[in-house]
Structure 1
Amino acid sequence: MPAVPRDPRATVAFVESPVQLLNVLEWAHAPGPLLDGVPAQQRAETPDLSDLTVVVLSPTDPMSRGQLRRMAELARDAGAKVRWEEARAGLTAPLQTVGGLAPMLRRAERIVIGDPFSRYVQLLLTAARARDLVVVDDGTATMEFVSQLARGERLVRWHRRGSRAGARELLFAPVSAAARRRLSPARRRAVTVFSAMPIEAPEGVMVAPNTFGWTRARFGPPRLTKGADLVGTSLVETGVVDPVSYLEAVGVLARTHGVTRYFAHRRESADKLHTLHARTGLEIVRPDLPLELIARRGPVGRTVLSFPSTVVHTLPLALAGTGVSVVVCDIDPRWLTERASPRAQGFLDGVTGTARKAHGLATVAA
């Protein structure tokens, strides 16, 4: 079979969450070339939105799918092409998806990904020949990705307990190792991390700042309400935080800081949210877009409280100049479950500590 020629203008982005798609749009609209410092022979042209194809590897949970549908509409309105893949619709879906995307992968000169930990993305990277690879923020996981890349470690999500690989991980290990090599800079391959997080990239990896310029230009400024808002977290669902301790902490924050609304994370369970509303009386808001857009569009409280999560880094940028104060509530070590990774407390402390340093955020206790 003859080789498929690469298209120097073609950029393909793979996303699996609404936040990843938002940050692809932020990357595409960032001012100036994002590849300064890349040798000319390694550099593709600065992307035009008409040359950008966003491939949505659709998840199964309804909240994520709904938000992704809305984000896909915004991406199309901005001029990008969007290809929706039911990548998890049955046992044969992964093979069909990878096979159908292979020609596009071989043509692309630049690949943009939102989740380097994703097995789906890692599998797709093995078929790519692009000379430019860009990793956009997938929340706080970006910080862990950069750290693991610098240490030469296998890519493992921070909340996974233990370091011993299971049977599935061992079977997938060759693909994961190949993807990690693809995500490392080389003589004919440039790697850029586009991030709002305070990260120190390993040698050869470029960092481009995500300032949420597209979000600020597209939405707002918001109308401010008198009450405070609280941002929910999925740390209970991932097995990191004890549900009883979490509910008690939310209750304390609501009473002491005048919280009236609770912005639920898209992965929070309906039962947990029902219990939370019954105990605290808070209005539960299920956002239909990433919180950065919801807050910027408004209305939003003059104070936004959050447990350790991505938003303690992104909301200060998205809401810059609006008068909204973002406040952090640390996770008490006593809230952690026995299933929590030994790295959990240090990672969560690092998320809030770096946010306080970067944005001067205040801290409250629950």
Structure 2
Amino acid sequence: MNLAFVESPVQLLNVLEWTHAMGEEAPAVTTVVVLPPVDPMSRGQLRRMADLARDEGITVRWQEARGEQGTPLRTLRALVALVRKADHVVIGDPFSRYVQLLLSVVRAARLTVVDDGTATMEFVAQLARGERLVRWHRKGSKGPRELLLAPVTASARRRFTPSAGHRVEVFTAMPVQAPDGVEITANIFSWTRARFGPPRLTKGADIVGTSLVETGVVEAEPYQEAVAALARTHGATRYFAHRREATAKLHALEAATGLEIVRPDLPLELIARRGPIGRTVLSFPSTVVHTLPLALAGTGVTVAVCDIDPRWLRDTASPRAQGFLSGVTETARDAHRLAFAPLAPPAAP
């Protein structure tokens, strides 16, 4: 049995991409376990993606894993037997505590990590350097919870290390260097291009939002000013919100910039491919500067990425933040690079 675990719409999209790319090599019956987050936008997108997965003949199991006290433990108990039966385990988030706990009972000889965007870049880099697994925007707290879970993380990391009789694959669109023994398979969004589009192009530009404010990396005020500057400079009319962006922040952006705020009901790669989409798509450093050029190949759309000015970073941002974001921009092979967004001049005294 081929068993996948996903916690976001993009992860589920890339399970579909992996299944399509494997063709006859992928087992005919694939079961995807969805461990949904609590925020409504992510849950809505996941439900839409689950419908698409079912249309492709995949069995989807919706497993609530968060919320009431005791739910995480009940979820883990409910999934243990299923995990032990799997011949091949596919996961979307190697940093997930749920996934790391479940890996402790995995007996499968094959393990595949499907694309989770920029997080995949950090995962592969940490794996190659022999470091513990920690998300790039976190400072790596060593509080009681982290100390308690340290053995779980260490055990999971060993499961991601290939050995005799144990294959590890990373399926990704991101530019990564394979650690010793790890197989890298390119995600070129062939399923997305076959399933949707080509899109109708509009005359203007579109801006792709980011959750860098919500994750505590960038200050809200300079971010809003940068969005406004991009809209003025490039004639943008729409802002595609990230699913984790706060409603209050989006209302402020709409009032300050006049942009139409769009809350996508599917991952942006599918929304853009389905269209309509601007001839130019503007983004800050994020996954889409790598994935949209692939999903929109041959359509005439230009993807441009705007650097993050170090002055926009919060004092509490991880010391790795600037270097990581710069790396995302510098390695975007098919995206046009923009300088820092020109902010509005200060008001005259």
TM-score (norm 2): 0.96
- Letter aligned with residue 185 of structure 2: A
CA contact (8 A) 1:327 1:364 kept: no
> What's the CA shift string for 1:251-287, capped at 9, x where partnerless?
1000010000000000000000000000000000000
* Residue 135 (structure 2) pairs with residue 141 (structure 1): no
Alignment of structure 1 residues 77-92 onto 2, 5 Å:
77-92=55-70
> What's the CA shift string for 1:22-61, capped at 9, x where partnerless?
000000000557xxxxxxxxxxxx223x410000001100
Query: What secondary structure sits across from 2:331 in the alignment?
Result: helix
* Residue 176 (structure 2) pairs with residue 187 (structure 1): no
Question: What is the CA–CA distance in structure 2 between the aligned matches of 1:82 and 1:164, rounded to whole Å?
Answer: 35
Q: CA RMSD in A?
A: 1.0
CA contact (8 A) 2:305 2:335 kept: no
Question: What is the CA–CA distance in structure 2 between the aligned matches of 1:171 and 1:127, rounded to whole Å?
Answer: 18
C-alpha distance 88-360 of structure 1, shift in aligned 2 (>3 A): closer
Q: 1:115 aligns with which of 81, 93, 113?
A: 93
What's the counterpart of residue 77 of structure 2? 99
- Letter aligned with residue 15 of structure 1: V
> What's the CA shift string for 1:317-340, capped at 9, x where partnerless?
000000000001000000000011
CA contact (8 A) 2:293 2:335 kept: no
* Residue 325 (structure 2) pairs with residue 351 (structure 1): no
CA contact (8 A) 2:216 2:316 kept: yes
Question: What is the CA–CA distance in structure 2 between the aligned matches of 1:228 and 1:24, rounded to whole Å?
Answer: 30
> What's the CA shift string for 1:166-202, capped at 9, x where partnerless?
2111001111111111111111110000000000011
* Residue 6 (structure 2) pairs with residue 28 (structure 1): no
CA contact (8 A) 2:113 2:169 kept: yes
What's the counterpart of residue 51 of structure 2? 73
Alignment of structure 1 residues 193-272 onto 2, 5 Å:
193-272=170-249
What's the counterpart of residue 294 of structure 1? 271
Question: What is the CA–CA distance in structure 2 between the aligned matches of 1:231 and 1:61, rounded to whole Å?
Answer: 20
Q: 2:144 aligns with which of 167, 182, 185?
A: 167
CA contact (8 A) 2:33 2:63 kept: yes
> What's the CA shift string for 1:108-158, capped at 9, x where partnerless?
010000000000110111111111000011110000000111111110000
Unaligned runs of 5+ in 2: 342-349
Alignment of structure 1 residues 54-65 onto 2, 5 Å:
54-65=32-43
Question: What is the CA–CA distance in structure 2 between the aligned matches of 1:31 and 1:361, rounded to whole Å?
Answer: 31
* Residue 158 (structure 2) pairs with residue 158 (structure 1): no
C-alpha distance 267-77 of structure 1, shift in aligned 2 (>3 A): same
Q: 2:2 aligns with which of 11, 15, 25?
A: 11
Following superposition, the deviation at residue 365 of structure 1 comes to: 3.1
How many residues matched?
A: 341
Q: 1:47 aligns with which of 3, 8, 26?
A: 26
CA contact (8 A) 1:11 1:109 kept: yes
The worse-fitting range, judged by mean Cα deviation, of 242-251 and 89-98 is 89-98
What's the counterpart of residue 313 of structure 2? 336
Question: What is the CA–CA distance in structure 2 between the aligned matches of 1:277 and 1:76, rounded to whole Å?
Answer: 36
Percent pairwise identity: 71
- Letter aligned with residue 248 of structure 1: E
Following superposition, the deviation at residue 90 of structure 1 comes to: 1.3
Query: What secondary structure sits across from 1:342 in the alignment?
Result: coil
Query: What secondary structure sits across from 2:5 in the alignment?
Result: strand
TM-score (norm 1): 0.92
What's the counterpart of residue 320 of structure 1? 297
Query: What secondary structure sits across from 1:159 in the alignment?
Result: coil
